[in-house]
Each structure stands twice: as C-alpha cells, then as structure tokens.
C-alpha cells in the first residue's frame, strides 16, 4: 500500500476554526494524551532497533536507520514481533509498529505512525532497514504484514491506549489484512486536543459490485471519553472525496455510504441493458455489509 508524497503540504486548520498555537513540545503517543499524564512509558529508548553492533548493507539502510533513530525517546513502541532462524536460533527479522511524536512538529498533517522492518544477518554482521509512514495503525500493520509479519500479533497493545468500538476493530482488522487492495492518495492528521481527527483518501483497486471506487477513512479521537472511532465512506472520484474532507468535522457533513446512490445504480443498469441479450430479474436489497463487503453475521464479535 503506497503512501502519498509529503512535499509542499500546507497547514490546514480545523474547518471553521482560527489558527491555533502549536502544542508544547511533549510526546503525544497513540493514546492521544501527553506523556506527563499518560501511563504509557514504552519508548524505544537507547536500545533502538538493536542494530548498533551490525553494519548496514547499503548507504540507504544506514540513512533510513539514522533518520528514524534521531529522537528515540519520542518513539512509542506499540507492537513488536521477532522472527528467529529455526536452525541457528539467531534473530533474523524484526517488525516494529511505533508512534512518532516528532511528527507533531514536522510538516502539518504528517502521518504519525511508522512501520519498521529490520532484517539481520548475524553471521555476516549486517542489517537491512526499511520503514514507511502511515496515518493510522491499521495501515502500518498492513505494510508490515506484506513483509512477513503476522497481522494477528503485530497489534497495538500498550497500557492506557484508547479503546475502539466493535465497528472500529472490525474495520482495522480488515485494513490490516487487505494486502495491496487500497492505494492511499492523500491523508491528513489534525492532532489538536479539541480536534483530533485523521482522514485518508484511498482508491479501492478491487471494489465489490455496487461499491464506489474511492474511500475516505475517518478516525476521530475523543480524549475526554477515552475512545476513538474509525469509519469509512464511498465516493465516485478522488475529487469528490477531496471536497468532502475539506469540510471534515462539520455537523452537516456525514460520511456517505460505500454503495452508489440508487440513481447512479439505475443509470449503470440501463447502460448494461442496452448491450445485454437478456435481463435478469431485479436483485433483492442486500443485507447490511461488513467492512469486507460480505453480509453481516447475526452473532456478536
């Protein structure tokens, strides 16, 4: 899943708000609470990514490691998974999911999660280092899973993190396991305490029948309630999605459904019927769908 370019991005204030001052320089972990009040203390610290005794294979590996290790005390470790060679019992691959607090003072709107894959050859004394930025944790999990991590194990699990509801957890699991299906076009994170929201525009490269080809994912954090939600809506074009996110958070701007409007579906049916030899009987209304697009099951998670 590719992430959008960050160059030349402009600061965006919450819709309908004035310019707010930058927050004080304190880490803001995934729970959305400053470290001074937060029980999360799991930072990478001096150990970092555990490659200091090894040599980088390429200059790109070295620069990628140095770039992410510049402020280790600002990286909150959310999940980690290690693989060991079963024959030599030596550590080979490590997968890290971290929240990068330095992004609060980087380019406005920058993605705050980092996915890191470290490959070690302890026999040769070398390492490879690759990382990717993501706006939400589920997309970072997706990137790691594509490189060999188990998505069931590389799940954020730290003390004091905010809780998502059942719909949020289902959508996160779906995204983490969706492979290369979604192509991220753009994203933006508002991390002001009174307006803590992240939106993502993504193309669906394999939409189910009747589903729109562009999705907006919207994560909203409620610090006072100690919870967050992740929801999705469907759009016909990227431009339509961009128009919607410009008004994110406004009360008269709800996310639209993933399916096309009835008029659009009818127009498509008419176009198909003009070249069809026979027409099938009208389909009955579909059952409510899960994040994966299948009919919802009656049992609870």
Stated pTM of the model:
0.75
Tokens of 263: 């008029």
Alpha carbon distances (Å) from 150 to 169, 190, 240, 261, 279: 17, 30, 35, 37, 45
pLDDT of residue 243: 98
Could you give the CA distance from residue 171 to residue 137 in angstroms, rounded to a whole number? 12
Q: Which of 153, 158, 157, 133 is nearest to 143 (CA)?
A: 133
**Choice among 48-52, 108-112, 155-159 with the minimum mean pLDDT:** 155-159
> Can you give the pLDDT at residue 26?
27
The predicted model gives 4-15 an average pLDDT of 48
Mean pLDDT of 140-154: 95
Locate 251 and state its tokens: 């009360």
**pLDDT bracket for residue 217 (50, 70, 90):** very high
Give residue 44's pLDDT: 65
% of the chain beyond a pLDDT of 70:
71
Q: What integer best gives the mean pLDDT of the chain? A: 78
Q: In this predicted structure, what is the pLDDT of residue 93?
A: 95
Q: Specify which residues 199 forms β-bridges with.
A: 188, 218
Report d(CA 199, CA 238) in Å as an integer.
13
- How would residue 79 be classed by pLDDT, with cut points 50, 70 and 90? very high
Q: How, if at all, do strands 75-84 and 91-100 pair?
A: antiparallel
Lowest model confidence (mean pLDDT) among 74-83, 112-121, 248-257, 266-275: 266-275
């Amino acid at each position: 899943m590719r992430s959008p370019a960050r160059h030349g991005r402009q600061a965006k204030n919450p819709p309908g708000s004035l310019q707010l001052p930058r927050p004080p320089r304190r880490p803001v972990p995934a729970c959305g609470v400053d470290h001074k009040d937060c029980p999360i203390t799991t930072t990478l610290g001096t150990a970092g990514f555990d490659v200091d005794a090894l040599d980088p294979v390429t200059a790109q590996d070295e620069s990628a490691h140095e770039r992410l290790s510049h402020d280790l005390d600002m990286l909150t470790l959310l999940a980690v998974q290690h693989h060991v060679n079963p024959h030599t019992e030596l550590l080979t691959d490590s997968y890290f999911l971290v929240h990068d607090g330095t992004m609060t003072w980087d380019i406005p709107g920058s993605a705050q999660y980092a996915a890191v894959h470290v490959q070690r050859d302890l026999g040769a004394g070398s390492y490879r280092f690759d990382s990717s930025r993501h706006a939400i944790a589920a997309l970072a999990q997706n990137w790691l899973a594509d490189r060999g991590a188990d998505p069931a194990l590389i799940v954020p699990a730290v003390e004091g993190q905010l809780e998502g509801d059942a719909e949020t957890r289902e959508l996160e699991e779906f995204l983490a396991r969706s492979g290369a299906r979604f192509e991220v076009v753009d994203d933006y994170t508002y991390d002001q305490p009174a307006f803590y929201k992240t939106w993502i525009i993504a193309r669906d490269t394999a939409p189910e029948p009747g589903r729109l080809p562009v999705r907006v994912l919207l994560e909203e954090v409620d610090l006072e309630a100690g919870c967050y939600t992740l929801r999705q809506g469907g759009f016909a074009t990227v431009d339509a999605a961009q128009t919607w996110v410009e008004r994110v958070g406004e009360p008269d701007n709800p996310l639209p459904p993933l399916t096309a409007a009835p008029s659009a579906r009818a127009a498509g049916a008419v176009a198909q019927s003009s070249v069809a030899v026979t027409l099938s009987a009208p389909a009955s209304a579909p059952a409510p769908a899960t994040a994966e697009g299948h009919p919802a099951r009656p049992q609870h998670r």
